């Protein structure tokens, strides 16, 4: 199992805390009662949980043109049309994904392209399912110019949740990125949004309550009427 290096600090701290408590439990077991050894189970269960939180599984990235893959693992909590969204001309489409503490927290790039702008905003730490968390919580917004003939801009928004206290983004402005590439993570519970223009022929490929996998599940696809143009653009880009 691969572990994200961004979790090294938390894993080391959890290991030290669990080890100290474990030594105390063993001392009590040897001097008072062996029944104290049963406390070892929840202690190391917590350690395993911290380890698994930072797991970084490999993913099979779809290669067909005209799609955007999920930027995160989790449950779809919103599929909506917006009259306006900063950075998008005209109406926009947004899909929001809630990441529980049991989900993989690695964020991934939805499509190939170039990073136009990254904007970090400090804020509150409301529960990621709270209706105001998108506007009030700590967040990091990544705006991309997509390749593959897709309409742009494509916006990925990392939003911290109730437990999360640190957003990590490993890409920079002007970076060229590929579909499914790891872009960072949010520590301990969060939300990730994917926002696209509503005028470019894209349609949602998921519904509310669907469970999605980062880099693997298709969130948006070009409507059938526009696929020939996307296929043509992708062929030109590959030549």
Alpha-carbon dihedral angle through residues 172, 175, 178, 180, given to the nearest 10 degrees: 0
Contact (CB, 8 A) for 197 and 182: no
Q: Catalytic annotation on 190?
A: yes
Q: CA–CA separation, 47 vs 135, rounded Å?
A: 33
Tell me the Ramachandran region of residue 30: left when phi exceeds 0, alpha when psi lies from -120 to 50, beta otherwise.
Answer: alpha
Cβ neighbours of residue 160 under 8 Å, at least 6 residues apart?
123, 125, 128, 137, 138, 139, 166, 167, 186, 190
For 9, the token pair is 């600090």
DSSP notation for 26-67 = HHHHHHT-GGGGGGHHHHHHHHHHHHHHTB---------SSE
Q: CA–CA separation, 9 vs 28, rounded Å?
A: 29
Catalytic option among 33, 190, 228, 239? 190
CA distance to 149, 171, 218, 224, per residue, from 203 (Å): 15, 27, 11, 10
Indicate the helix (H) or strand (E) that contains 16: helix 8-31
Contact (CB, 8 A) for 31 and 173: no
Q: Which residues are tagged catalytic?
A: 190
């Amino acid at each position: 199992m691969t572990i994200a290096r961004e979790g090294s600090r938390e894993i080391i701290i959890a290991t030290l805390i669990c080890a100290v408590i474990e030594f105390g439990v063993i001392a009590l077991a040897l001097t008072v009662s062996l029944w104290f050894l049963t406390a070892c189970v929840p202690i190391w269960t917590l350690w395993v949980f911290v380890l698994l939180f930072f797991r970084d599984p490999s993913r099979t990235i779809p290669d067909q043109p005209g799609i955007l893959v999920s930027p995160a693992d989790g449950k779809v909590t919103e599929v909506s049309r917006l009259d306006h969204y900063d950075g998008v001309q005209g109406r926009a489409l947004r899909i929001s994904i809630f990441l529980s503490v049991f989900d993989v927290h690695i964020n991934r790039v939805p499509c190939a392209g170039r990073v136009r702008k990254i904007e970090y905003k400090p804020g509150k730490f409301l529960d990621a399912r709270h209706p105001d968390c998108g506007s009030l919580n700590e967040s990091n917004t990544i705006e991309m110019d997509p390749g593959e003939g897709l309409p742009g801009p494509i916006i990925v928004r990392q939003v911290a949740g109730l437990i999360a206290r640190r957003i990590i983004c490993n890409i920079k402005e002007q970076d060229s990125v590929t579909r499914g590439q790891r872009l960072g993570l949010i520590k301990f519970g969060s939300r990730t949004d994917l926002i696209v223009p509503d005028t470019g022929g894209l349609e949602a490929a998921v519904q509310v309550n669907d469970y999605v996998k980062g880099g693997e599940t298709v969130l948006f696809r070009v409507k059938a009427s526009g696929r020939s143009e996307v296929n043509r653009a992708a062929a030109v880009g590959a030549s």
